[in-house]
Amino acid sequence: MRIEDIPLVMLKCLVLTILIESLIALLIGYRKKDIINVILVNAITNPLVTSIPIFFNVFYSVKARNISLLILEIITLLFEGFIYSKVLKKKTINPFALSLILNASSYGLGLIINGM
């Protein structure tokens, strides 16, 4: 990956994450206000979770990227779960479980879409 490709990759990741996680949240039963919160939370977390591993991949190694990605995904899961516990109107599912479901869905489908 070239440095000049990073903005486009980040935008693609953000758009895919928002689409996937919004769709999954809709399927679970969340509606407009909660979906907007899912989108806003992802607008905060996704750029960091995308850019930091890219930085490690470009300047260090794939191993450094993978370690940073694992750490960032765990932090994101906890952060988003905490935010969801505060802002979501509908709480039929534990906010941390929701975070896990949404993040696992977007990460897994992202791997499939991008060809692993």
Domain spans of the chain, in order of start: 3-113
CA-to-CA distance for 15 and 114, rounded, in angstroms?
13
CA-to-CA distance for 10 and 13, rounded, in angstroms?
5
In this predicted structure, the answer to whether residue 111 has a pLDDT above a threshold of 70 is yes
Of 41, 51, 21, 18, the closest CA to residue 88 belongs to 41
pLDDT tens string 50-100: 989 988 988 899 999 999 999 999 999 999 999 999 999 887 899 999 999
26-30 long-range Cβ contacts below 8 angstroms, 24+ apart: 28/93, 28/98, 28/101, 29/90, 29/92, 30/88, 30/90
pTM of the predicted model, to two decimals? 0.90
Helix (H) or strand (E) holding 70: helix 62-87
